[in-house]
Structure 1
């Protein structure tokens, strides 16, 4: 069957393009990028394709939603260059990333469950920071300073300062030293912001969510966002299955 596709009826660029609503230039670009096997040429130099090229295009377009355009391109290029194991490795990496994203979502949900009603009674904006280095430990139950908190989250202190400017965290200031002091609610907000950032949310998207959680004292404002996030992960997982099926079909046709 693969041999039949390789030597089967000739197709024009427009034939491949019409099947997927593409331009003929897009088809030519895909060939030049290695997504499609090299096209044949007529005596006059015009490109000719076969059903094998059509199968390659279907596989690529099916891979894109689950793996993204760059990775799908690299997968197809690997297959067409005979580096099938490298292509499979790229697929494995995408699946590992999806699993990591699912774990991140679970971590966010766990962080939200830890949020208590104390977040609704946090004080408002505080004074700007003083100059100089900040200490390593803070007094008070659950309180900490910027260095230890940044280390705990695996981020830079500058990132916490950026989050503070965006309203994601609101540490108080020590009246004597001016150092930032993060209480338990601030730590929870920082952890929530960190997990949402890992989930792909922008600062301007996170700030109103945290503000709503503070005001409501509960998780309800984030439920819609979490459902959307979970839905996007499920859609990506199904897209990976579709892409795998089309790629397997293409591999069979290549023989």
Structure 2
């Protein structure tokens, strides 16, 4: 545990610069290093374990959360560190639930029954009633560029066709999943450009792969963080 290491030794293991190692120490992502009489930093296996944990946490939770976790550990506030870990897992769970909900909706939109043949054009009130929202909500989606209904040339009223209904149903689902209107506009625009939801279905598979990769990264980071905590506070020999 007390084997002296140079900054270059830590940097080489991860393919990063020695300056990055020094920056991580300065930001308290690593514990403070001892100094030689001439001022050179001296690291140990404890620092190596801290760097492994930090970089794994970055891959799993992002730089800001990873830094917060390591700062909490070095403040001897493991409870705060674990709270940040828990929040990351909660976000992942919510993303999984949203993905499942969107996938189910896409399945409904692509394989479910089309709008009733007798109704070729829907008014804003009929669409709002179908979705269980207010007409004001539908107008807000239109202002955001998500829905682009055409107008009845005689009355000037909005008219929603089958593609508009599909886009509105997808919007309603994504809003329930917590997505902002700006993001939904991009997704619906991609569906509209492709002429259907097949492109979004393919994107969902990529989303699933990313969530799986993040979950696995969290597992790996948890193991390295636990290892660092043991290195930092070893149990006394019996």
Do the two structures share a fold, i.e. TM-score over 0.5?
A: yes
TM-score class normalised by the smaller sequence? 0.7 to 0.9
**Aligned-pair CA distance for 1:254:** 1.1
> 1: CA distance between counterparts of 2:178 and 2:185?
8
> 1: CA distance between counterparts of 2:43 and 2:50?
11
Aligned match of 2:145: 163
Q: Mark the CA change 1:23 to 1:142 in structure 2 (over 3 Å): closer, same or farther.
A: same
Aligned match of 1:149: 138
**Aligned-pair CA distance for 1:192:** 2.1
**Aligned-pair CA distance for 1:74:** 0.5
Contact 1:142 1:183 (8 Å CA) reproduced:
no
Aligned match of 2:64: 70
**Aligned-pair CA distance for 1:138:** 1.9
Give the number of equivalent residue pairs. 220
**CA RMSD in angstroms, aligned pairs only:** 3.2
Aligned match of 1:138: 125
- 3-state SS in 1 of match to 2:130: coil
> 1: CA distance between counterparts of 2:13 and 2:23?
16
**Aligned-pair CA distance for 1:13:** 0.8
* Deviation digits for residues 46-76 of structure 1 (CA, Å, limit 9, x no counterpart): 1111110000000011111111111011001
* Deviation digits for residues 9-53 of structure 1 (CA, Å, limit 9, x no counterpart): 211111111111110110011011110001111111111111100
- 3-state SS in 1 of match to 2:29: coil
The structure 1 residue matched to 2:83, chosen from 80, 89, 110, is 89
Normalising by structure 1, we get a TM-score of: 0.74
Contact 1:30 1:36 (8 Å CA) reproduced:
yes
Normalising by structure 2, we get a TM-score of: 0.79
Aligned match of 1:132: none
Aligned match of 2:97: 103
Aligned match of 1:238: 216
> 2: CA distance between counterparts of 1:76 and 1:94?
14
Unaligned 5+ segments in structure 1 are 124-136, 151-156
Q: Mark the CA change 1:83 to 1:113 in structure 2 (over 3 Å): closer, same or farther.
A: same
> 2: CA distance between counterparts of 1:11 and 1:31?
14
